[in-house]
Amino acid sequence: MIKLGVVGAGKFGTNILNAFKQLESEGKCKLAAICDINKELLENQAKKYSVKGYADYKEMIDREKDIYGIAVATPDPFHREPVLYAAGAGKHIFVEKPMDITVEGCKEMLDACKKNKVLLQVDFHKRFDPFHIAVRNEIREGRAGEIEYGYAYMEDKIIVPRDWFPGWASKSSPAWFLGVHMFDLIRWIMGSNGKQVYARGRKLKLKSLGIDTYDSISSMVEFENGAVVSFDVSWILPEDFEAIVNQGFRLVGEKGLVECDSQDRGTRASYEKQGVMTYNPVFLNESRDAKTGGTRYSGYGIESIADFVYNLEYLAGGGSLDKLEGGVTGLGEDGLEVTKIAVAVHKSLDSGKIELV
Ligand SMILES: NC(=O)c1ccc[n+]([C@@H]2O[C@H](COP(=O)([O-])OP(=O)(O)OC[C@H]3O[C@@H](n4cnc5c(N)ncnc54)[C@H](O)[C@@H]3O)[C@@H](O)[C@H]2O)c1
C-alpha cells in the first residue's frame, strides 16, 4: 500500500489530511507522517490523525524512507524548498496552488521532478468542479465558436487574510491566493496560455490593518488564442457577505456565450444574526459514512487530492509516468504557466504598463 506524507498541516493541510485518511479507510493509501513547524499545531494534528509528526520536512523525508508521495501545503512562498527536497528523494508530489510565486522557482521544481522521474501535480481543484467541466466541454465542442472575450472574478471575505493567516498574507496577494485559480480555470477551459497583461490594484483596507498587501487587483489578460479576459480578484468582502468566497465567470464567443455562477449553487440558509448564506456543496460536502459511522467528505475539494492518490496507485502498480502525464489534469507545466500570468500581473502593477507573460 502506498504511504503518504504531508508538509504543512494548517487550514488546507487539514483538508488534505481528511482526504488521505478517508482514502486510507478505503484501503487506497496510508498516511505515514506529517510535518509542521508550528509545534502546538503539529502535536494536535498528529494526535487527531494518529500519525507520526515531524517539525522538519527533511528529517521526515530522510527517516520515512518508504513514503511514496508527499503533499505540500505550506504558505504560498514556501512550496519550493520542500518540493525540491522531496523530488530529490524520489517522492511523487502534490503541491498546493500557486506552485511557486516565481517563474524560476516553478522551472526549478519542474526540472527536479523530471530529473528524478516523479509526478508533480498542482492542486487546481476548480478543474474537478462538475459545473466547470460542463462549461469546458461546451467550449471545447466549439458551440460558442471562437472565444472573443470574458470576465472572471474571485473574492474572499476579509476574514481570510485578516484572521486565517495574518502572518503570511503580506507575502501573498489576491492574485497569488485567488487569481491563480481563475487564470488556470480560463486557460484550461480555452486550452490557451496567457500572452500579455495589464493590471491595476488598490492597497487601502488591509494596509490600514497593518497587513501590507493588495486589497484588490484587476487585470486584463490577452491569451494566445486572441481572447481577452478581465479578472477581478479581492479579499476584502465584508464579514456579512453570503459566502466565504464569491466567484464566477463568463466567456463570450462568436457564436454564443457561457456563464457560470460558481458561488451561488442554489442552496441558501438564513439564521438569526447571520443573514442569508449560500453553500457550495459541490466543493466540500460532509455526510455520514455508512461503513465507519464517521464523516464522509465529497466534492471537488477532495476529488483533486484523491486523483493524486489514484495516480500514485497506478504508478506503484508499474504504470508509466509518461503515459500518466499525458492524461493527468493540473501538472507542474500548468503551475508554471499560471505563475507566469500572476508574475506578469504583479510586474504590470509595479510598472503601470502592459507586460508580457
Ligand atoms: N486549493 C485551494 O483552494 C486552497 C485553499 C486554501 C489554501 N490553499 C493553499 O494552501 C497553502 C496553505 O494555506 P493554508 O490556508 O493552509 O495556510 P495555513 O497558514 O493555515 O497553513 C500553512 C501551514 O504550513 C506550516 N509551515 C510553514 N512553513 C513550513 C515548513 N517549512 N515546514 C512545515 N510546515 C510549514 C505553518 O506552520 C502552517 O501550519 C497555501 O499555498 C494556500 O494558497 C489552497
The domain limits of the chain are 2-123+287-330, 127-283+339-356
Atom in ligand 1 nearest the alpha carbon of residue 74: 24
Instruction: Name the residue of 6, 36, 94, 284 whose CB sits within 8 Å of the most ligand 1 atoms, as the mutation to test its pocket.
Output: 36
Q: Does ligand 1 have an atom closer than 6 angstroms to the CB of 78? A: yes
CA pair distance 209, 169, nearest whole angstrom: 12
Helix (H) or strand (E) holding 343: helix 332-351
CB atoms within 10 A of CB 78: 17
Chain position carrying cell 476584502:
236
Residue 8 C-beta-side C-alpha neighbours within 13 Å:
22
CATH 3.40.50.720 for the 2-123+287-330 domain, yes or no: yes
Query: What distance lies between CA 36 and its chain's CA centroid?
Result: 19
Cis peptide before 75 (omega within 30 of 0): no
Q: Which CATH class is domain 127-283+339-356?
A: alpha beta
Instruction: Give 135-189 pLDDT, tens digit per residue.
Output: 999 999 999 999 999 999 999 999 999 999 999 999 999 999 999 999 999 999 9
Torsions phi, psi of 300, nearest 5?
Answer: -70, -20
What percent of the chain lies above the pLDDT cut of 70?
Answer: 100
6, 7, 12: residue to mutate for ligand 1 pocket, most atoms within 8 A of CB? 12
pLDDT at 293 over 90: no
pLDDT number for residue 272 = 85
pLDDT digits (tens, 9 = 90+) for 180-206: 999 999 999 999 999 999 999 999 999
* Contact assessment for residue 110 and residue 122, using Cβ atoms and an 8 Å cutoff: no
Cell 518508504 appears where? 66
Number of the ligand 1 atom closest to the C-alpha atom of 304: 1
- Nearest C-alpha to atom 41 of ligand 1 is from which residue? 76
Distance between CA atoms of residues 240 and 185, nearest Å: 27
**DSSP-assigned beta bridge partners for residue 213:** none
